[in-house]
Structure 1
Amino acid sequence: MKYPTKVASALCCSALTVMLASCGDSNSNNTVQPPVQTPAPVVTFQYEIQLTNLSQAQPISPIAAVIQATGTLWSIGQPASVALERLAEGGNNSEILNAPNVIAKASAIGALAAGATTKITLETTQLGNRLSIVGMPVNTNDAFTGLTGYDLSTLPLGGAESFDVIVYDAGTEANSESAATVPGPAAGGQGFNSERDDVNQVRMHSGVVSQDDGLSSSALNESQRFDNPMLRVRINRTK
């Protein structure tokens, strides 16, 4: 049986439409959806820092603890930064705590008395950073004690490490020990002064002389003398 040409064309078009529709349905049903991305959990690293003043009669200004991505707060033989000068001459740790490269920070509350112990807790989400701890023996011209650039990546979870750290001289103010220049309770003198009248290099501190050892102009007595070290630091990774 032969179909008229118009009828045959209509049937072909109808069949083609059905086929295309079927193809479209097939493609729609088989579209692969991208997997849902689950964000990686944030890992927090926590460090408990125990600090003990080993001196006989040298309070230490509020101790700052900072974590930096790289670098140190000081280097032997190099000039002190203004932030370190402010701390070493007047006990002010605010510039160290707020430095641009600091990624975690904490400060002890109040001065650490001779023989006393305190704790600071620091947290960061980055592993492998550098820890620095610093405070000023306040009955001095420009002394400071602490450690700098400790590599936290070497400390495993639950691990702890202890240091007995020495006293440094910021080299920014002459060690006159005078009542006018020592800011602590033994003298009550001036703190930070922007003028630098010493060697302008960080070095190991030679210690307090005192009036009892023949420095008649000194406002300090033998109880303010110190032998290195001055500060005991224990770092414990708790997370």
Structure 2
Amino acid sequence: MKTTMHLPSVIKSSLISTSILCAVGLQAAELDISITNATKGIYFTPLLIAAHSADAHLFESGTNASAELEAMAEGGDISGLSSLASNAGAVVIENPASGILNPGVAATTSISTGDLDRLSVTAMLLPTNDGFVGLDSWIIPSTSGTYKVYLNSYDAGTEANDELAASMPNPPFITFGTGGTGVETTVTNDKVHIHPGNLGDTNPAGGVSDINSSAYRWLNPVAIMTVTVK
């Protein structure tokens, strides 16, 4: 004969409360995030950090850039991407460095992700035509701890990498050459892809590029992100 065990109501209530607390704990990640510019001489425009669901993206490798991604990658304007992410239900952090993130400097922030389990990051790289530092849909760990992620540079595929001063933002902290003939004249890959890096040259009044190769070349990765899951 089957015996049915009846739990006292106090115990049942306790078990239910514990289950609810566990579920809430799984759905309310608190993150401390630090992003360090790991380059020698490349600058980051204002960063955009977004916690989002698996079906949302700020960008995807191998696909055409959105108009909002193009605006960020060519001019450092994160407002369009921020609006897209927010409208898709993302939790967004804009400009944690309060401006340009210099080489060797870190920006820090905190974010409460709710039930969102992916993290993405973007910021334009200066000086480039359409280069940006990026992280696409990193899965947020469910276990508390500190995690380190290396971020690569991407090319939006929206503008030829001619490396001419006239084609790029000209902030006062970047020293451009003049008279370059252009490294590229057409877009060779119109999809988002890993950036080949600036070619540059050492001729300040000619050559193929207006970018000084001794100051503004880089290799991936270009940033280090440290995430503490509480």
Normalising by structure 1, we get a TM-score of 0.72
Letter in 1 for 2:112: E
Residue 210 of structure 1, CA deviation? 1.1
- SS of the residue corresponding to residue 228 of structure 2 reads strand
Match of 1:236?
Answer: 228
The root-mean-square deviation of aligned C-alpha atoms, in Å, is 2.2
Match of 2:4?
Answer: none
Which residues of structure 2 form unaligned runs of 5+? 1-16, 177-185
User: Cα gap change, 1:167/1:184 in structure 2, threshold over 3 Å: closer, same or farther?
Assistant: farther
Q: Does structure 1 residue 156 correspond to structure 2 residue 111?
A: no
Runs (4+) off by over 4 Å: 40-43
- SS of the residue corresponding to residue 44 of structure 2 reads coil
Which residues of structure 1 form unaligned runs of 5+? 1-37, 189-196
The residue correspondences of 1:1-239 to structure 2 (distance < 5 A) are: 44-71=28-55, 72-99=57-84, 100-107=87-94, 108=96, 109-127=98-116, 129-152=117-140, 154-157=141-144, 159-185=145-171, 186=174, 198=187, 199-212=189-202, 216-222=207-213, 223-238=215-230
Residue 76 of structure 1, CA deviation? 1.9
Cα distance in 2 for partners of 1:58, 1:235 equals 23
| 8 Å Cα contact 1:139-1:187 kept in structure 2 | no
Structure possessing the higher radius of gyration over alpha carbons: 1
- SS of the residue corresponding to residue 202 of structure 2 reads helix
Normalising by structure 2, we get a TM-score of 0.75
* Identity between Structure 1 and Structure 2 (%): 28
| 8 Å Cα contact 1:144-1:168 kept in structure 2 | yes
Letter in 2 for 1:121: S
Residue 202 of structure 1, CA deviation? 0.7
| 8 Å Cα contact 1:48-1:119 kept in structure 2 | yes
Cα distance in 2 for partners of 1:90, 1:136 equals 7
Aligned length: 189
User: Cα gap change, 1:162/1:82 in structure 2, threshold over 3 Å: closer, same or farther?
Assistant: same
Letter in 2 for 1:229: P
Cα distance in 1 for partners of 2:90, 2:62 equals 26
The one-character-per-residue Cα deviations of 1:109-152 (angstroms, maximum 9, x if unpaired) are 2111011111021113215x211011111210000112111112
Letter in 2 for 1:218: S
Letter in 2 for 1:54: A
Residue 45 of structure 1, CA deviation? 2.1
| 8 Å Cα contact 1:141-1:174 kept in structure 2 | yes
| 8 Å Cα contact 1:59-1:139 kept in structure 2 | yes
- SS of the residue corresponding to residue 76 of structure 1 reads coil
Letter in 2 for 1:104: V
- SS of the residue corresponding to residue 126 of structure 2 reads coil
